Amino acid sequence: MARFKGVEVLADGYGISNDELDACAKAQRVEVRRGDFVIIRTGQMEACLKAKKWGGYAGGDAPGVKFENCYWCHEKEIAAICSDTWGVEVRPNEVKDHNQPWHRVVIPAMGL
């Protein structure tokens, strides 16, 4: 995703939209289908390694998928999704009254 956006690393707090995921897949000439594993590279881990500082990596702000991604994962019927961030979803969370709202949907409701 970072390469698709033309940067080395997506900024902390950057929310990746479903439209961006679809556009990136199209640019890479791949089709996301049922049972696929989706791997998202934001550049965050590489940036931490390069700086030799982990800062808030394990629980702090991070780029990641927006809450709307729950629908994308369900529609695509993917088997798994992962990224080079500690939690896949954007931090700070878009939903202020719940910690890790994306996880509260994709794990218990979809088994992702």
CB of 94 within 8 A of CB of 68? no
- What's the pLDDT score for residue 89? 95
- What's the pLDDT score for residue 79? 95
Q: What's the whole-model pTM score? A: 0.93
- What's the pLDDT score for residue 45? 95
Name the stretches of the chain with pLDDT < 50. none
